[in-house]
Amino acid sequence: MAGRGRGRRPFGTDSSISRGEGLPPGLQQPTPVFPVMEQKPLPLAGGEEAEYLLALKQDFRGVMKNLPFFIKPAAAQRDVQRYSDKYHSSEQTNSLTDWNLEPSCLHVSGFQTGDDSPESCRSTSGGESEKKEEHEQSSEEEEGGVKKKPEEEEGAEAEEEYDEEELEEETDYIMSYFDNGEEFGGDSDDNMDEAIY
């Protein structure tokens, strides 16, 4: 490519153009996406250390995806609100951080209950200004109550998890009653000859 596209020489410095010649012929097509390199790059450093670093990096990324710090956007709206939405397990967001280190206006009561459903998000965004003022006023009470709350909440949630299989507040059904069949068929059956519909 004689002097075309970005990163090329300034116009008049092309040594192949001598005085009095016309301009070079115009460009007929876009510049290539991957221009040819004159020098090939060196190969990557291999070796034990590089592989260990690589493994560490990929593990770290995988772990971070499962920690409570990985915030997923609000779950996609189901077509119909279902009774079982209330009982699907929610993350333990109260273990996210020590609230003493966060500014008071970030204390959200929605955190403690781990309520991430789209309904609560919509309602809070509607009344956001009121909520903020309310928080600034009640931040002092929350301050005192916040420390006790996570511990209480942890106890309550642990109880909930433990009792999940048998007792659940307000319902007589075990948790597997509320599975809506999405996870069915993920594990293999013992007999692979039957077709899975």
Partner 1 sequence: MTAQEVRLCGLLLQEHFGEVVEKVGRNLLKSGTQNLRAIVHETGLSVDLVKKSLCVLVQHGACSFIQGRKGPGSPTEYKAHCDRVLRILRYPRYIYTAKTLYGDTGELIIEELLQRGHMTMSNTVKTVADRLTQSMDEGSSMDYGEVSATFSKLVETHFLQRCPPAAGAGTTGSSQTANSTSAAPASSTAPTPESFPDCYRVPQVTLIGRSKRSLASEEGEDQRNAKKAKMDPETHGDEGIYWQVNFERFHQHFRDQTIISAVANKLDQTSSEIVRTMLRMSEVTTSSTAPCTKPLSANEIFRSLPATYNIPRHILDQYLTLLVDDPMEFVGKAGESGGGMYIVNLNQALANLARATLESIVQERFGSRSARIFRLLLRKRHLEQKQVEDFAMIPAKEAKDMLYTLLSQNLVQLQEIPKTPDFAPSRTFYLYTVNQLPTARLLLQNCYKTVANLMERRLFEAKESKRLLEKSQRIEAILASLQASGAEPEQLTEVEEMITAPEKQQLDSLRLHVNKLDSAENQVDETIFLLESYISSSTKPTS
11 binds partner 1 (CB under 8 A): no
Among 1, 2, 64, 174, which residue interacts with partner 1 (rule: CB under 8 A)? Answer: 64
User: What is the Cα–Cα distance from 41 to 18, expressed in whole angstroms?
Assistant: 34
Cβ of residue 60: shortest distance to partner 1, in angstroms? Answer: 6
The number of residues that bind partner 1 (CB under 8 A) is 72
What Cα–Cα distance (Å) separates residue 62 from each residue in 13, 53, 57?
52, 14, 9
Exposure b/e, 39-66, CB count within 10 A at least 16 = b: eeeeeeeeeeeeeeeeeeeeeeeeeeee
Does 18 interact with partner 1 (rule: CB under 8 A)? no
Residues 149, 113: Cα–Cα separation, whole Å: 10
> Both tokens of residue 50?
């590089």
Contact mark string toward partner 1, 141..180, x via CB under 8 A? --x-------x--xx--xx-xx------------------
Residues 85-114 that bind partner 1 (CB under 8 A): 93, 96-106, 108, 110-111
Cβ-based nearer residue to partner 1, 164 or 178: 164
Using CB under 8 A as the binding rule, whether residue 136 contacts partner 1 is answered as yes
